[in-house]
Amino acid sequence: MSFWKKLFGGSGGEAAEEAAGEPVEHNGFTIRATPFTEGGQYQTCGVISKEIGGEVKEHRFIRADRFAAKQDAIDVTLRKARQVIDEQGEKIFG
C-alpha cells in the first residue's frame, strides 16, 4: 500500500484506525496523533484541528522522526503539535 493511502485512509482503514491516538486538547485546538508504520517503525504524524466560525479546520503534518515503539511516536507527535500551536496558532490553517 502506498504512503499516501496509509496516511489518508485508503484501503488500509484498519491500520490507520489502529494507529490513531486519543484526541488531546491544547489552547483550544484538538490534537490527534496518527502514527503509521513505515519500514518497520512508527512515523511521527498527526492532525491539529479547531472549529473556527462554525467550520472545523484541520492541519495534517508528518515529521521524519521514526520510532520502534508506537507510544514514543505518539508522545513526539503530541509534543511537536503543541509546539506548532504555540508558535503559529490559527495561522497554520492559512
pLDDT digits (tens, 9 = 90+) for 36-92: 999 999 999 999 999 999 999 999 999 999 999 999 999 999 999 999 999 999 999
Q: Please give the tally of structural domains in the chain.
A: 1
Helices (H), 1-94: 3-7, 13-19, 70-88
Q: List the CATH number of the domain containing 58.
A: 3.30.160.350
Strand pairing category for 29-33 and 36-38: unpaired
pLDDT digits (tens, 9 = 90+) for 9-46: 544 433 443 446 789 999 999 999 999 999 999 999 99
Range of the domain at 52: 3-93
If phi > 0 it is left, if psi is from -120 to 50 it is alpha, else beta; for residue 25 that is beta
pTM above 0.85, yes or no: no
- Number of helical (H) and strand (E) elements in the chain, helices listed first: 3, 5
Strand partners, 25: 30
